A and B are shown apart, each in its own frame.
Chain A
Amino acid sequence: MKRTAALLAGLLLCTLTAACGSGEQPGGAAAAVERGLSITIPSIGVQSSLIPLGLNEDRTVATPPLSTPMQAGLYVNGPAPGDPGPAVVLGHINGGGQEGVFSRLAQVKAGDEVDVAKTDGTTATFTIREVTRAPKDAFPTAKVYSDTPNPQLRLITCGGALDRTARSYVDNVIVYADLTGTRA
C-alpha cells in the first residue's frame, strides 16, 4: 500500500512538473500561448484566440485545423509576441468552404496596428511595416524566421491564384510588424 501511495504521489508530482515544465520551452511562445493569447487587427476586423502550432511530419509549419478556419495560431518554437524575435502567427484564408480568419490579410496597410493580448489584460501593440506576397515555392524562410533586434510579429496566410489541381493557393501573404507599444 505504502509503495502504491508513493508511486501515486510520484506520478502526481510529475504530472504537475510536466505542466510547469512546458514553461521551459526555448523561445517562450509555447508557454505564452498556453497561458492564453488573442490577436486583434482592427483595420480588417480580425479577432481570434491563438492556439499552439508546431510542425507537420514533413517539417512544414502546422496550421490551425481547416474545420475551424476562423482560428489563428502561434508557432510555438519561437519567441512569445512582445519578446525580441519574430513571433509567427498563422491563419487560414479559408477552409472547409468557409471564410478564414485571415481572409482579408492582404488588405492591411503599413501603419495598421495589430494587438496581441494576454489573459491578464497586458497588450502588445505591433505596427505593420510591410505587406508582402511570396510564391510558396520560394518562401522567404530567412526573412520570416531569422533573429530580429526588436520584438516583431509575422502574420501569414495564403494568397495569389488558386491552384485548383492542388486545391491550394500558390502564394503566401506575409505581413511584417514591429512592436510599438505595450499597455497593461
Chain B
Amino acid sequence: MVISRCLTLGEILSVLVHRRLVAGLGAAVMAAGLLLSAGSASAQDSSDPKCVAVATAKKAKTTAEAAYDDAKTKLTNASSAVTEAESAANAAPNDADLQTKLTAARAAHNQAMTAEAAADSTRKGAAMNLSQAVDAAVKAGLDCDGTNPPKTPVEVTDPPKTPPSPAKPDNGGGNRPGGPGKPAGPDLNCRDFVSRPAAQAVLDADRSDPYRLDADHDGYACEDFFGEPSEDPDVDHDVTVDHTDDDDSDADTSGDQVTVVPEGSADTGSAL
C-alpha cells in the first residue's frame, strides 16, 4: 500500500511535472512560434518589393543629397573665386592676365551653377521617389524597417551604410536626425512623406519615434510640417490636402485635386 501509495504519489507528481513541462514546453513552442511568425512577417515586410523600393529610394536620396552638398560647396567656392577675381581685376583694369582670370572664374561659376541646379533637380526627384515609396509601403501596411520587436535576423532593408552627408539644413519638419535611438540606415524626415497620415503611420508603427517625427511628443507626427491633424479620423486618414498657413495669401484652398498646396508665390524670374 505504502509502495503503491508512493508510486501513486510519484505518478501524480510525475504527471504534474510532466504536465508542467508539457505546459512549459507548449508555452515555449507557442512563444517560439509567435517569434517565428512575427519574425517571418517582418522578414517578409522588409523583403517586400515595396520595402526594398523604400530602401533603394532612401539610398538614392542619400547619394543625391551628398552630391548636391558637394555641388553646392563647389558653387560657393566658384562664387568666392569670381568675387576675388573681380576685385583683383577692378584694382588693375589694364592687367590683361587678371581679366583672363576673371573670365575663367566666371565660366567656372556658370558651370558650377548648372551642376548645382542639376544636382538639385536630382535631389528633389530622389526625395519625391522616396516619399512615394514610403507612402506605398505604409498604405500596404508594411513594416519595412523591422522596427517592431522582435528584430528580423536579416535586415534586408538596410543597405550598406554610406557615410552621413555633411550637416543638412533644417528640414522644416521639427525632427532632427541623429537621435540616440535612431535606427540604422538613412533618416526619415517629415518632408519625406506625402501627407501627415503617412508620417503618422510610421510613428504609430514604432512609438519610440526613432525618426523623431513627433518632436513635441503629443502623439501626432509632423503637424508642424503638414499642419494640425484633422478632428475627423476619416478625413485625416485619407490623403489630405495640406493647406497653406503663412503665405499671406487670401484664403485656404478647398478640395483635394492638388494634394500638396505650395506656400506663397512662384519664383519664376531672376535678374541675375
- Which residues of A are interface residues toward B (Cβ below 8 A)? 7, 10-11, 13-15, 17-18, 21-22, 24-27, 30, 51-52, 54-55, 57-63, 65-68, 75-79, 84-86, 88, 90-97, 100, 102, 134, 136-142, 145-148, 156-159, 162, 164, 167-169, 172
CA distance A17 to B263 in the complex (A): 32
Chain A, Cβ-Cβ closest to B121: A65
Contacts of B110 in A (CB 8 A): 67, 96
Chain B, Cβ-Cβ closest to A165: B271
Min Cβ gap B36→A in Å is: 19
CA distance A63 to B117 in the complex (A): 11
B117 contacts A10, CB within 8 Å? no
- Which residues of B are interface residues toward A (Cβ below 8 A)? 47, 49-53, 55-57, 110, 113-114, 117-118, 120-121, 124-125, 127-129, 132-133, 136, 156, 169, 171-172, 191, 194, 239, 244, 247-272
Min Cβ gap A49→B in Å is: 14
**Residue with the highest number of chain B CB atoms closer than 10 Å, among A15, A145, A156:** A145
B269 contacts A145, CB within 8 Å? no
Min Cβ gap A33→B in Å is: 11
Contact residue among B56, B57, B239, B270 (Cβ-Cβ distance under 8 Å from A11)? B56
CA distance A78 to B110 in the complex (A): 33
Chain B, Cβ-Cβ closest to A164: B271
Contact residue among A51, A95, A140 (Cβ-Cβ distance under 8 Å from B250)? A140
Q: A17-B50, A57-B191, A65-B118 are in contact. Are A91 and B257 (CB under 8 A)?
A: no
Min Cβ gap B258→A in Å is: 4
Contact residue among B117, B258, B263 (Cβ-Cβ distance under 8 Å from A79)? B258
Contacts of A97 in B (CB 8 A): 272
B128 contacts A142, CB within 8 Å? no
Min Cβ gap B269→A in Å is: 3
Contacts of B271 in A (CB 8 A): 94, 162, 164, 167-168
Contact residue among B169, B253, B266 (Cβ-Cβ distance under 8 Å from A61)? B266
CA distance A25 to B198 in the complex (A): 13
Contacts of B270 in A (CB 8 A): 66, 92, 94-96, 167-168
Task: List 4 extra interface pairs beyond A88-B258, A96-B113, CB under 8 A.
Answer: A21-B133, A22-B132, A51-B121, A141-B247
B260 contacts A146, CB within 8 Å? no
B128 contacts A54, CB within 8 Å? yes
Q: A10-B52, A86-B257 are in contact. Are A58 and B172 (CB under 8 A)?
A: yes
Q: A14-B52, A14-B53 are in contact. Are A77 and B260 (CB under 8 A)?
A: yes
Chain A, Cβ-Cβ closest to B130: A18
Contacts of B253 in A (CB 8 A): 141-142, 145-147
B262 contacts A75, CB within 8 Å? yes
B250 contacts A7, CB within 8 Å? no
A14 contacts B49, CB within 8 Å? yes
Contacts of B259 in A (CB 8 A): 26-27, 77-78
Contact residue among A21, A65, A92, A147 (Cβ-Cβ distance under 8 Å from B254)? A147
Q: A61-B266, A92-B269 are in contact. Are A27 and B258 (CB under 8 A)?
A: yes
Min Cβ gap B250→A in Å is: 6
